[in-house]
A and B are shown apart, each in its own frame.
Chain A
Amino acid sequence: MGFKTALYATHQAMGGKLVDFGGWDMPLHYGSQIEEHNHVRQNAGMFDVSHMTVVDVKGEDAKAYLQYLLANDVAKIEAIPGKALYSGMLNPDGGVIDDLIVYNMPQNASGAWFRTVVNCGTREKDLAWMTKIAADFDVELTERDDLAMVAIQGPKAIELTKTVVSPARAALIDSLKIFQGLPEGEWFIARTGYTGEDGLEIMLPNAEVETFWNSLNKAGVPACGLAARDTLRLEAGMNLYGHEMDDSVSPLAANMGWTLALQPAERNFIGRKAIEAQKSAGAEFKLVGLVLRERGVMRAEQVVSVDGSDQKGVITSGTFSPTLGYSIALARVPASVGSQCYVEMRGKQVLVDVVAPNFVRNGKALV
Protein backbone atom coordinates (compact mmCIF):
# COMPACT_ATOMS: atom_id res chain seq x y z
CA MET A 1 0.00 0.00 0.00
CA GLY A 2 1.41 3.33 -1.00
CA PHE A 3 0.71 6.97 -0.21
CA LYS A 4 -2.76 8.14 -1.13
CA THR A 5 -3.86 11.53 -2.40
CA ALA A 6 -7.00 13.22 -1.11
CA LEU A 7 -8.73 11.96 -4.27
CA TYR A 8 -7.92 8.27 -3.72
CA ALA A 9 -11.50 7.23 -2.85
CA THR A 10 -12.82 9.33 -5.74
CA HIS A 11 -10.52 7.54 -8.19
CA GLN A 12 -11.78 4.20 -6.90
CA ALA A 13 -15.40 5.31 -7.19
CA MET A 14 -14.79 6.48 -10.78
CA GLY A 15 -13.33 3.10 -11.79
CA GLY A 16 -9.72 4.24 -11.98
CA LYS A 17 -7.17 1.46 -12.41
CA LEU A 18 -4.85 2.24 -9.52
CA VAL A 19 -1.18 1.36 -9.71
CA ASP A 20 1.96 2.11 -7.74
CA PHE A 21 3.63 5.26 -9.06
CA GLY A 22 6.74 6.36 -7.19
CA GLY A 23 5.28 5.01 -3.95
CA TRP A 24 1.84 6.50 -4.55
CA ASP A 25 -1.37 4.67 -5.46
CA MET A 26 -2.34 6.59 -8.59
CA PRO A 27 -4.85 6.08 -11.42
CA LEU A 28 -3.26 4.73 -14.60
CA HIS A 29 -6.48 5.18 -16.56
CA TYR A 30 -10.24 5.04 -16.09
CA GLY A 31 -10.94 2.64 -18.96
CA SER A 32 -9.11 3.81 -22.06
CA GLN A 33 -5.83 5.68 -22.09
CA ILE A 34 -6.35 6.64 -25.73
CA GLU A 35 -9.80 8.14 -25.14
CA GLU A 36 -8.43 10.17 -22.24
CA HIS A 37 -5.50 11.31 -24.36
CA ASN A 38 -7.85 12.43 -27.14
CA HIS A 39 -10.11 14.29 -24.71
CA VAL A 40 -7.14 16.43 -23.69
CA ARG A 41 -6.06 17.11 -27.27
CA GLN A 42 -9.57 17.93 -28.51
CA ASN A 43 -11.42 19.28 -25.50
CA ALA A 44 -10.20 19.05 -21.91
CA GLY A 45 -9.20 16.51 -19.30
CA MET A 46 -8.13 16.61 -15.66
CA PHE A 47 -5.37 14.84 -13.77
CA ASP A 48 -4.76 14.33 -10.09
CA VAL A 49 -1.13 15.39 -9.66
CA SER A 50 -1.25 15.73 -5.88
CA HIS A 51 1.58 13.21 -5.61
CA MET A 52 4.03 15.88 -6.74
CA THR A 53 5.98 17.57 -3.96
CA VAL A 54 5.40 21.26 -3.25
CA VAL A 55 8.07 23.03 -1.20
CA ASP A 56 7.82 26.69 -0.22
CA VAL A 57 11.09 28.57 0.18
CA LYS A 58 10.94 31.61 2.46
CA GLY A 59 13.37 33.76 4.38
CA GLU A 60 15.93 36.50 3.94
CA ASP A 61 18.14 34.36 1.65
CA ALA A 62 15.38 32.69 -0.40
CA LYS A 63 16.64 34.16 -3.68
CA ALA A 64 20.34 33.61 -2.94
CA TYR A 65 19.63 30.04 -1.90
CA LEU A 66 17.76 29.21 -5.11
CA GLN A 67 20.43 30.94 -7.19
CA TYR A 68 22.96 28.52 -5.70
CA LEU A 69 20.69 25.46 -5.70
CA LEU A 70 19.37 25.72 -9.28
CA ALA A 71 21.10 25.79 -12.66
CA ASN A 72 18.56 28.28 -13.98
CA ASP A 73 18.52 31.75 -12.44
CA VAL A 74 15.49 32.91 -10.43
CA ALA A 75 16.63 36.48 -11.06
CA LYS A 76 14.98 36.02 -14.48
CA ILE A 77 11.54 35.89 -12.87
CA GLU A 78 11.88 38.25 -9.91
CA ALA A 79 10.30 41.22 -11.69
CA ILE A 80 7.05 39.40 -12.51
CA PRO A 81 4.84 38.19 -9.66
CA GLY A 82 3.86 34.56 -10.13
CA LYS A 83 6.19 33.96 -13.05
CA ALA A 84 7.42 30.37 -13.29
CA LEU A 85 10.85 29.05 -14.23
CA TYR A 86 11.84 25.52 -15.26
CA SER A 87 15.19 24.36 -13.93
CA GLY A 88 17.39 21.42 -13.16
CA MET A 89 18.72 20.94 -9.65
CA LEU A 90 22.19 19.56 -10.29
CA ASN A 91 24.74 17.62 -8.28
CA PRO A 92 28.36 18.79 -8.22
CA ASP A 93 29.14 16.45 -11.17
CA GLY A 94 26.52 18.19 -13.29
CA GLY A 95 24.00 15.31 -13.17
CA VAL A 96 20.35 16.11 -12.62
CA ILE A 97 19.06 15.46 -9.09
CA ASP A 98 15.62 16.53 -10.27
CA ASP A 99 13.87 18.87 -12.66
CA LEU A 100 11.41 21.30 -11.15
CA ILE A 101 9.31 24.39 -11.55
CA VAL A 102 9.85 27.41 -9.31
CA TYR A 103 7.27 30.18 -8.97
CA ASN A 104 8.18 33.69 -7.91
CA MET A 105 5.44 34.21 -5.32
CA PRO A 106 4.02 37.70 -4.79
CA GLN A 107 5.89 39.37 -1.96
CA ASN A 108 4.40 39.36 1.49
CA ALA A 109 5.42 41.19 4.66
CA SER A 110 8.45 38.92 5.09
CA GLY A 111 9.78 39.68 1.61
CA ALA A 112 10.44 37.59 -1.50
CA TRP A 113 9.55 33.92 -1.45
CA PHE A 114 9.27 31.09 -3.92
CA ARG A 115 7.27 27.93 -4.43
CA THR A 116 8.97 24.91 -5.96
CA VAL A 117 7.28 21.82 -7.38
CA VAL A 118 9.48 18.73 -7.62
CA ASN A 119 8.71 15.17 -8.67
CA CYS A 120 7.16 12.51 -6.43
CA GLY A 121 9.53 9.59 -6.92
CA THR A 122 12.49 11.81 -6.03
CA ARG A 123 10.83 13.41 -2.99
CA GLU A 124 13.13 12.08 -0.30
CA LYS A 125 16.44 12.74 -2.02
CA ASP A 126 15.22 16.17 -3.15
CA LEU A 127 14.16 17.19 0.35
CA ALA A 128 17.40 15.84 1.84
CA TRP A 129 19.48 17.76 -0.71
CA MET A 130 17.48 20.98 -0.46
CA THR A 131 17.69 20.83 3.35
CA LYS A 132 21.43 20.12 3.30
CA ILE A 133 22.15 23.11 1.05
CA ALA A 134 19.77 25.28 3.09
CA ALA A 135 22.00 24.92 6.15
CA ASP A 136 24.26 27.70 4.86
CA PHE A 137 21.42 30.11 4.12
CA ASP A 138 18.80 31.98 6.08
CA VAL A 139 15.86 30.11 4.56
CA GLU A 140 12.91 28.10 5.74
CA LEU A 141 11.64 25.15 3.66
CA THR A 142 8.06 24.01 4.11
CA GLU A 143 6.67 20.96 2.39
CA ARG A 144 3.03 21.68 1.53
CA ASP A 145 1.45 18.26 1.90
CA ASP A 146 -1.74 20.05 2.95
CA LEU A 147 -2.25 20.97 -0.72
CA ALA A 148 -3.75 18.82 -3.45
CA MET A 149 -2.98 19.57 -7.09
CA VAL A 150 -5.22 19.17 -10.13
CA ALA A 151 -4.07 19.73 -13.71
CA ILE A 152 -6.79 20.69 -16.20
CA GLN A 153 -5.44 20.55 -19.73
CA GLY A 154 -6.73 21.00 -23.27
CA PRO A 155 -8.06 23.69 -25.61
CA LYS A 156 -11.23 24.06 -23.50
CA ALA A 157 -9.55 23.61 -20.10
CA ILE A 158 -9.55 27.26 -19.11
CA GLU A 159 -13.07 28.00 -20.33
CA LEU A 160 -14.54 24.98 -18.52
CA THR A 161 -12.60 25.54 -15.30
CA LYS A 162 -13.87 29.10 -15.11
CA THR A 163 -17.46 27.80 -14.99
CA VAL A 164 -16.89 25.99 -11.68
CA VAL A 165 -14.83 28.48 -9.66
CA SER A 166 -15.71 31.74 -7.87
CA PRO A 167 -15.85 34.96 -9.92
CA ALA A 168 -12.65 36.14 -8.23
CA ARG A 169 -10.82 32.96 -9.29
CA ALA A 170 -12.26 33.15 -12.80
CA ALA A 171 -10.95 36.72 -13.05
CA LEU A 172 -7.56 35.60 -11.79
CA ILE A 173 -7.47 32.86 -14.45
CA ASP A 174 -8.24 35.46 -17.12
CA SER A 175 -5.34 37.58 -15.92
CA LEU A 176 -2.72 34.81 -16.06
CA LYS A 177 -0.07 34.73 -18.73
CA ILE A 178 1.37 31.42 -19.88
CA PHE A 179 3.78 30.02 -17.28
CA GLN A 180 2.48 32.24 -14.49
CA GLY A 181 0.69 31.29 -11.27
CA LEU A 182 -0.92 33.40 -8.57
CA PRO A 183 -2.66 32.78 -5.25
CA GLU A 184 -6.31 33.48 -4.52
CA GLY A 185 -7.17 32.82 -0.90
CA GLU A 186 -5.77 29.39 -0.09
CA TRP A 187 -5.72 28.39 -3.74
CA PHE A 188 -2.83 28.78 -6.13
CA ILE A 189 -3.72 28.82 -9.82
CA ALA A 190 -1.06 28.47 -12.49
CA ARG A 191 -1.25 28.48 -16.26
CA THR A 192 1.16 25.60 -16.60
CA GLY A 193 0.99 21.96 -17.60
CA TYR A 194 2.65 18.93 -19.04
CA THR A 195 0.68 18.03 -22.16
CA GLY A 196 1.55 20.55 -24.87
CA GLU A 197 -1.90 22.13 -24.48
CA ASP A 198 -3.02 25.28 -22.77
CA GLY A 199 -4.39 24.67 -19.31
CA LEU A 200 -4.09 25.13 -15.58
CA GLU A 201 -2.47 23.51 -12.60
CA ILE A 202 -4.35 24.34 -9.43
CA MET A 203 -3.17 23.76 -5.89
CA LEU A 204 -5.87 23.85 -3.26
CA PRO A 205 -6.46 22.54 0.28
CA ASN A 206 -6.90 18.76 0.45
CA ALA A 207 -10.32 19.23 2.06
CA GLU A 208 -11.64 21.10 -1.00
CA VAL A 209 -10.28 19.00 -3.83
CA GLU A 210 -12.99 16.34 -4.03
CA THR A 211 -15.75 18.93 -4.52
CA PHE A 212 -13.67 20.77 -7.11
CA TRP A 213 -12.86 17.55 -8.99
CA ASN A 214 -16.50 16.44 -9.06
CA SER A 215 -17.72 19.82 -10.26
CA LEU A 216 -15.14 19.83 -13.05
CA ASN A 217 -16.29 16.37 -14.05
CA LYS A 218 -19.91 17.54 -14.12
CA ALA A 219 -18.87 20.50 -16.27
CA GLY A 220 -17.56 18.09 -18.92
CA VAL A 221 -13.93 17.56 -17.93
CA PRO A 222 -13.26 13.81 -17.76
CA ALA A 223 -10.74 12.28 -15.38
CA CYS A 224 -7.52 11.16 -17.06
CA GLY A 225 -4.81 8.91 -15.70
CA LEU A 226 -1.04 8.84 -15.68
CA ALA A 227 -0.92 6.69 -18.82
CA ALA A 228 -2.50 9.47 -20.91
CA ARG A 229 -0.30 12.00 -19.14
CA ASP A 230 2.72 10.08 -20.39
CA THR A 231 1.64 9.85 -24.05
CA LEU A 232 0.65 13.53 -24.00
CA ARG A 233 3.95 14.72 -22.54
CA LEU A 234 5.90 12.54 -24.92
CA GLU A 235 4.02 13.94 -27.94
CA ALA A 236 4.88 17.38 -26.57
CA GLY A 237 8.56 16.32 -26.37
CA MET A 238 8.75 16.99 -22.66
CA ASN A 239 11.29 15.31 -20.42
CA LEU A 240 10.40 12.90 -17.64
CA TYR A 241 12.77 12.49 -14.75
CA GLY A 242 14.32 9.01 -14.66
CA HIS A 243 13.84 8.65 -18.42
CA GLU A 244 15.36 11.61 -20.27
CA MET A 245 17.65 12.57 -17.37
CA ASP A 246 18.80 11.48 -13.96
CA ASP A 247 21.72 11.90 -11.57
CA SER A 248 24.13 10.51 -14.16
CA VAL A 249 22.94 12.49 -17.20
CA SER A 250 24.09 15.99 -18.02
CA PRO A 251 21.38 18.53 -18.85
CA LEU A 252 23.35 19.10 -22.08
CA ALA A 253 22.58 15.50 -23.11
CA ALA A 254 18.93 15.91 -22.16
CA ASN A 255 18.01 18.91 -24.30
CA MET A 256 18.07 21.12 -21.20
CA GLY A 257 20.90 23.40 -22.30
CA TRP A 258 18.43 26.30 -22.45
CA THR A 259 17.79 25.95 -18.71
CA LEU A 260 21.47 26.49 -17.82
CA ALA A 261 21.90 30.15 -16.96
CA LEU A 262 25.66 30.63 -17.32
CA GLN A 263 25.31 34.41 -17.34
CA PRO A 264 26.00 36.32 -15.19
CA ALA A 265 29.38 34.58 -14.85
CA GLU A 266 29.70 35.55 -11.20
CA ARG A 267 26.66 33.51 -10.14
CA ASN A 268 27.96 30.27 -8.71
CA PHE A 269 25.57 27.33 -8.72
CA ILE A 270 25.98 23.67 -7.85
CA GLY A 271 27.28 21.79 -10.89
CA ARG A 272 28.47 24.91 -12.69
CA LYS A 273 32.10 23.81 -12.98
CA ALA A 274 31.17 20.40 -14.34
CA ILE A 275 28.76 21.90 -16.87
CA GLU A 276 31.34 24.43 -18.06
CA ALA A 277 33.89 21.64 -18.55
CA GLN A 278 31.35 19.54 -20.47
CA LYS A 279 30.42 22.51 -22.59
CA SER A 280 33.98 23.27 -23.59
CA ALA A 281 34.65 19.58 -24.34
CA GLY A 282 31.57 19.46 -26.60
CA ALA A 283 28.54 17.29 -25.96
CA GLU A 284 28.96 13.64 -27.00
CA PHE A 285 25.25 12.90 -26.87
CA LYS A 286 22.07 14.78 -27.51
CA LEU A 287 18.37 14.15 -27.10
CA VAL A 288 16.39 13.84 -30.34
CA GLY A 289 12.95 12.76 -31.42
CA LEU A 290 12.39 9.59 -33.43
CA VAL A 291 9.50 8.76 -35.70
CA LEU A 292 8.54 5.29 -36.96
CA ARG A 293 5.87 5.64 -39.61
CA GLU A 294 5.37 1.92 -40.16
CA ARG A 295 3.97 -0.71 -37.82
CA GLY A 296 5.50 -1.27 -34.44
CA VAL A 297 6.10 0.69 -31.27
CA MET A 298 9.45 2.01 -30.07
CA ARG A 299 10.05 1.38 -26.36
CA ALA A 300 12.38 2.78 -23.72
CA GLU A 301 15.80 1.09 -23.50
CA GLN A 302 15.88 -0.06 -27.13
CA VAL A 303 19.34 0.44 -28.62
CA VAL A 304 19.90 3.10 -31.28
CA SER A 305 22.68 2.96 -33.89
CA VAL A 306 23.91 5.96 -35.81
CA ASP A 307 25.91 5.93 -39.05
CA GLY A 308 29.52 6.93 -38.52
CA SER A 309 29.60 6.31 -34.77
CA ASP A 310 30.53 3.22 -32.77
CA GLN A 311 28.77 4.61 -29.75
CA LYS A 312 25.26 3.37 -29.15
CA GLY A 313 22.31 5.53 -28.30
CA VAL A 314 19.26 4.57 -26.32
CA ILE A 315 15.56 5.28 -26.43
CA THR A 316 14.66 7.08 -23.21
CA SER A 317 10.88 7.09 -23.78
CA GLY A 318 8.91 5.47 -26.57
CA THR A 319 5.25 5.01 -27.24
CA PHE A 320 2.47 4.85 -29.77
CA SER A 321 1.27 8.38 -30.42
CA PRO A 322 -2.54 8.44 -30.31
CA THR A 323 -2.63 11.83 -32.05
CA LEU A 324 -0.29 10.88 -34.92
CA GLY A 325 -1.26 7.23 -35.25
CA TYR A 326 2.30 5.90 -35.24
CA SER A 327 5.17 5.41 -32.85
CA ILE A 328 7.35 8.25 -31.55
CA ALA A 329 10.24 8.26 -29.13
CA LEU A 330 12.82 10.40 -27.40
CA ALA A 331 16.36 9.05 -27.66
CA ARG A 332 19.77 10.01 -26.38
CA VAL A 333 22.07 9.48 -29.36
CA PRO A 334 25.62 10.34 -30.46
CA ALA A 335 25.64 14.05 -31.34
CA SER A 336 26.77 13.23 -34.91
CA VAL A 337 23.35 11.75 -35.74
CA GLY A 338 21.92 12.59 -39.16
CA SER A 339 18.35 12.57 -40.40
CA GLN A 340 17.87 8.83 -39.88
CA CYS A 341 19.12 6.12 -37.53
CA TYR A 342 18.43 2.49 -36.62
CA VAL A 343 16.50 1.18 -33.66
CA GLU A 344 16.84 -2.44 -32.63
CA MET A 345 13.27 -3.64 -32.23
CA ARG A 346 12.51 -7.25 -31.41
CA GLY A 347 15.76 -8.44 -32.97
CA LYS A 348 15.52 -6.32 -36.14
CA GLN A 349 17.28 -3.11 -37.13
CA VAL A 350 14.52 -0.67 -38.08
CA LEU A 351 15.25 2.58 -39.92
CA VAL A 352 13.55 5.59 -38.31
CA ASP A 353 13.49 9.35 -38.92
CA VAL A 354 15.25 11.76 -36.58
CA VAL A 355 13.28 14.93 -35.79
CA ALA A 356 13.29 17.80 -33.33
CA PRO A 357 12.03 16.40 -30.03
CA ASN A 358 8.62 18.03 -30.26
CA PHE A 359 5.86 16.12 -32.02
CA VAL A 360 2.51 17.75 -31.19
CA ARG A 361 1.77 21.22 -29.84
CA ASN A 362 -1.65 22.75 -29.25
CA GLY A 363 -3.31 19.86 -31.05
CA LYS A 364 -1.20 20.21 -34.21
CA ALA A 365 1.24 17.67 -35.58
CA LEU A 366 4.74 19.10 -35.95
CA VAL A 367 6.31 16.10 -37.70
Chain B
Amino acid sequence: MSDIRKELKYLSSHEWARVEEDGTVTIGITDHAQEALGDVVYVETPEVGSRVSIGEEAGVVESVKAASDIYSLVSGEVVEVNEALQDAPETVNASPYDDGWFFRVKPDDLAELEEALDAADYRELIESEE
Protein backbone atom coordinates (compact mmCIF):
# COMPACT_ATOMS: atom_id res chain seq x y z
CA MET B 1 0.00 0.00 0.00
CA SER B 2 1.31 3.42 -0.89
CA ASP B 3 2.38 5.85 1.81
CA ILE B 4 0.03 8.83 1.90
CA ARG B 5 0.81 11.55 4.41
CA LYS B 6 -2.05 13.26 6.23
CA GLU B 7 -0.46 16.70 6.44
CA LEU B 8 0.16 17.07 2.70
CA LYS B 9 -1.96 18.30 -0.21
CA TYR B 10 -2.12 16.40 -3.51
CA LEU B 11 -2.90 16.69 -7.20
CA SER B 12 -4.63 13.99 -9.20
CA SER B 13 -1.44 13.97 -11.32
CA HIS B 14 0.38 12.63 -8.20
CA GLU B 15 2.34 15.63 -6.93
CA TRP B 16 2.29 16.56 -3.25
CA ALA B 17 2.78 19.94 -1.52
CA ARG B 18 3.87 20.82 2.00
CA VAL B 19 3.64 24.29 3.54
CA GLU B 20 6.89 25.02 5.37
CA GLU B 21 7.25 27.16 8.48
CA ASP B 22 8.58 30.09 6.43
CA GLY B 23 5.48 30.05 4.22
CA THR B 24 7.16 28.48 1.18
CA VAL B 25 5.63 25.39 -0.43
CA THR B 26 7.66 22.27 -1.18
CA ILE B 27 6.60 20.11 -4.14
CA GLY B 28 7.40 16.49 -4.95
CA ILE B 29 5.81 13.35 -6.36
CA THR B 30 3.94 10.81 -4.26
CA ASP B 31 4.98 7.36 -3.16
CA HIS B 32 2.29 5.99 -5.45
CA ALA B 33 3.79 7.91 -8.40
CA GLN B 34 7.36 6.80 -7.78
CA GLU B 35 6.23 3.20 -7.49
CA ALA B 36 4.24 3.39 -10.71
CA LEU B 37 7.15 5.04 -12.57
CA GLY B 38 9.78 2.57 -11.41
CA ASP B 39 13.46 3.51 -11.22
CA VAL B 40 13.80 7.27 -11.70
CA VAL B 41 16.79 8.17 -13.91
CA TYR B 42 16.43 11.92 -14.60
CA VAL B 43 14.69 14.81 -12.92
CA GLU B 44 14.30 18.18 -14.59
CA THR B 45 13.36 20.87 -12.08
CA PRO B 46 12.47 24.49 -12.84
CA GLU B 47 15.23 27.08 -12.38
CA VAL B 48 15.58 29.04 -9.19
CA GLY B 49 14.10 32.49 -9.77
CA SER B 50 11.70 31.31 -12.49
CA ARG B 51 7.93 31.35 -12.05
CA VAL B 52 5.62 28.36 -11.99
CA SER B 53 1.87 28.48 -12.42
CA ILE B 54 -0.89 26.16 -11.38
CA GLY B 55 -1.81 23.88 -14.25
CA GLU B 56 1.42 24.44 -16.14
CA GLU B 57 4.32 22.06 -16.52
CA ALA B 58 7.08 22.88 -14.04
CA GLY B 59 9.45 20.01 -14.69
CA VAL B 60 9.84 16.44 -15.87
CA VAL B 61 10.60 13.18 -14.12
CA GLU B 62 11.89 10.33 -16.24
CA SER B 63 12.10 6.72 -15.18
CA VAL B 64 13.43 3.79 -17.17
CA LYS B 65 9.82 3.20 -18.14
CA ALA B 66 8.25 6.60 -18.81
CA ALA B 67 8.50 10.39 -18.74
CA SER B 68 5.99 12.45 -16.74
CA ASP B 69 5.45 16.18 -16.44
CA ILE B 70 5.49 17.65 -12.97
CA TYR B 71 2.95 20.29 -12.02
CA SER B 72 3.04 22.81 -9.22
CA LEU B 73 0.17 23.02 -6.74
CA VAL B 74 0.60 26.78 -6.40
CA SER B 75 1.70 29.72 -8.56
CA GLY B 76 4.75 31.66 -7.50
CA GLU B 77 8.52 32.05 -7.64
CA VAL B 78 10.84 29.06 -7.41
CA VAL B 79 13.16 29.77 -4.46
CA GLU B 80 15.04 26.48 -4.22
CA VAL B 81 15.44 23.24 -6.17
CA ASN B 82 16.71 19.89 -4.92
CA GLU B 83 20.16 19.83 -6.55
CA ALA B 84 20.88 16.42 -5.05
CA LEU B 85 18.47 14.85 -7.53
CA GLN B 86 20.82 15.65 -10.42
CA ASP B 87 23.39 13.15 -9.19
CA ALA B 88 21.04 10.85 -7.32
CA PRO B 89 17.64 10.77 -9.04
CA GLU B 90 16.95 7.44 -7.33
CA THR B 91 16.37 9.45 -4.14
CA VAL B 92 12.86 10.05 -5.51
CA ASN B 93 12.21 6.30 -5.26
CA ALA B 94 13.79 5.90 -1.86
CA SER B 95 12.34 8.97 -0.16
CA PRO B 96 9.56 10.62 -2.17
CA TYR B 97 8.27 12.84 0.68
CA ASP B 98 11.53 13.76 2.39
CA ASP B 99 14.92 13.70 0.64
CA GLY B 100 13.34 13.29 -2.82
CA TRP B 101 11.47 16.63 -2.95
CA PHE B 102 11.70 18.54 -6.27
CA PHE B 103 11.42 22.30 -5.75
CA ARG B 104 10.23 25.00 -3.35
CA VAL B 105 7.93 27.89 -4.29
CA LYS B 106 7.24 31.23 -2.66
CA PRO B 107 3.48 31.26 -3.36
CA ASP B 108 1.57 34.26 -4.66
CA ASP B 109 -1.51 33.14 -2.81
CA LEU B 110 -1.42 30.21 -0.41
CA ALA B 111 -5.19 29.92 -0.70
CA GLU B 112 -4.61 28.20 -4.07
CA LEU B 113 -3.70 25.09 -2.12
CA GLU B 114 -7.28 24.77 -0.97
CA GLU B 115 -8.11 23.60 -4.47
CA ALA B 116 -5.83 20.57 -4.07
CA LEU B 117 -6.87 17.17 -2.74
CA ASP B 118 -6.44 16.26 0.90
CA ALA B 119 -5.00 12.90 1.93
CA ALA B 120 -8.37 11.15 2.14
CA ASP B 121 -9.43 12.34 -1.34
CA TYR B 122 -6.06 11.33 -2.78
CA ARG B 123 -6.26 7.87 -1.22
CA GLU B 124 -9.70 7.42 -2.73
CA LEU B 125 -8.36 8.49 -6.12
CA ILE B 126 -5.49 6.04 -6.24
CA GLU B 127 -7.62 3.21 -4.89
CA SER B 128 -10.08 3.81 -7.70
CA GLU B 129 -7.17 3.66 -10.18
CA GLU B 130 -5.87 0.34 -8.89
Residues on A lying within 8 angstroms of B by beta carbon are 28-29, 32-34, 227, 231, 295-297, 299, 319-320, 322, 346
Contact = CB atoms under 8 A, between A and B. Distances in A.
A346 B67 CA distance: 9
Contacts of A346: 60, 67
Contact of B42 (A28, A33, A296): A296
Contacts of A231: 64
Contacts of A28: 38
Contacts of A299: 66-67
B50 to A, nearest CB: 18
A319 B64 contact: yes
B67 A320 contact: no
B42 A227 contact: no
The 9 closest A-B pairs by CB, nearest first: A320-B41, A34-B39, A320-B64, A297-B62, A33-B39, A295-B42, A33-B38, A33-B64, A32-B39
Contacts of A322: 39, 64
A299 B64 CA distance: 10
A227 B67 contact: no
16 contacts: A28-B38, A29-B38, A32-B93, A33-B64, A34-B39, A227-B64, A227-B65, A231-B64, A295-B44, A296-B42, A297-B41, A320-B42, A320-B62, A320-B63, A346-B60, A346-B67
Contacts of B41: 297, 320
B42 A34 contact: no
A328 B65 CA distance: 13
Contacts of B38: 28-29, 33, 227
Interface of B: 38-39, 41-42, 44, 60, 62-67, 90, 93
A34 B64 contact: yes
B67 A297 contact: yes
Nearest to B67: A297
A319 B67 CA distance: 11
Given A231-B64, A299-B66, A320-B64, 14 more contacts: A28-B38, A32-B93, A33-B39, A33-B65, A34-B90, A227-B38, A227-B64, A227-B65, A295-B42, A295-B44, A296-B42, A297-B42, A319-B64, A320-B63
A278 B126 CA distance: 51
A32 B67 CA distance: 17
B53 to A, nearest CB: 19
Contacts of A319: 64
A137 B32 CA distance: 55
Contacts of A297: 41-42, 62, 64, 67
Contacts of B66: 299
A208 B93 CA distance: 36
A39 to B, nearest CB: 14
A299 B67 CA distance: 9
A28 B66 CA distance: 14
Nearest to B42: A295
A362 B90 CA distance: 26
B39 to A, nearest CB: 4
B117 to A, nearest CB: 25
A21 to B, nearest CB: 14
Contacts of B62: 296-297, 320
Contacts of B39: 32-34, 322
Contacts of A296: 42, 62
Nearest to A231: B64
A296 B65 CA distance: 12
A29 B67 CA distance: 19
B105 to A, nearest CB: 23
Nearest to B65: A227
Contacts of B67: 297, 299, 346
Contacts of B44: 295
Contacts of A227: 38, 64-65
B90 to A, nearest CB: 8
Nearest to B41: A320
Nearest to A29: B38
A292 B4 CA distance: 36
A157 to B, nearest CB: 23
Contacts of B60: 346
B85 to A, nearest CB: 12
